[in-house]
Amino acid sequence: MVLTAFWAMLPAYIPNNAAVLAGGGRPIDGGKTMGGRRLLGDGKTWRGTAVGWGAGAVLAVVLNAIQQDASDLVGMTLPEFPIAIILALPLGAMLGDIAASFLKRRTGRERGAPFPGVDQLDFVAGALLLAAIARPGWFLDTFTLPVLLVVLVLTPILHVLTNGIAYLLGLKDEPW
C-alpha cells in the first residue's frame, strides 16, 4: 500500500522540486494585482511550471518502462500510467500549487509565507482531482481508500523532508 501510494504519486511529487530548481523568469500573473496584492506572486513562473510538468511526465514514462521489473522485485503489481494520467498528475500538482498561491495572496500571505497544511497538500489535491477527471476508472482502481489514506499521511512527511533538504542545500529560500 505504501509502495503503491508512493509509486502512483511520484509523478506528482517531482514537479514541485523541479520547479524549485528551474524557477525564475516571467511570473505567470505578469505582475498583476488584485485588491492591492499580487494575483499569484513571483514564486509562480512559466518556466518553473513547464519544467515541473515536463519532469513529472517524463518520470511517469520512465516508471512505466520499469513497472514490470519493479513489480516483480517488490512482489506486487505497481500501477501503470495511461497517457492522460502521465499528463494529469504533474499538471494537477502544479495547478494545485498555483491555486494555493492565489489563496495565500488573497489571505494576505506574502510570497514564501508558510500556510501550514495547504503548503503540504495543495499539489496532492490538484494531482488527484485532475487525475480523477482525466481517467475516473484508473483513479478509482489505483487510489483505493487505504492508498488514499497513505497518500494523505505520507505526502506531508515527504514534503517537509524534501523541502528541508532543499533549504539546507540553499536551493530554496524557506524550509516549507
Contacts to ligand CTP by CB under 6 A: 19-20, 23-24, 41, 43-45, 48-49, 94, 97-98, 101, 104, 111-113, 172
Length of the chain: 176
Cβ distance to ligand CTP smaller for residue 43 or 90: 43
**Minimum Å distance from CB 55 to ligand CTP?**
12
- Of the two residues 72 and 173, which places its CB atom closer to ligand CTP in the complex? 173
- What's the min distance (Å) between Cβ of 162 and ligand CTP? 11
The smaller minimum CB distance to ligand CTP, of residues 94 and 151, is found at 94
Q: How far is the CB of 110 from ligand CTP (least distance, A)?
A: 7
Least distance from C-beta 41 to ligand CTP, angstroms? 5
Residue number, 53 or 143, with CB nearest to ligand CTP: 53
We find the least distance from the C-beta atom of residue 136 to ligand CTP, in angstroms, to be: 26
**Residue 104 or residue 135: which is nearer to ligand CTP going by CB?**
104
CB 155 within 8 A of CB 118: no
Residues 6+ apart with CB under 8 A from 49: 19, 28, 94, 98
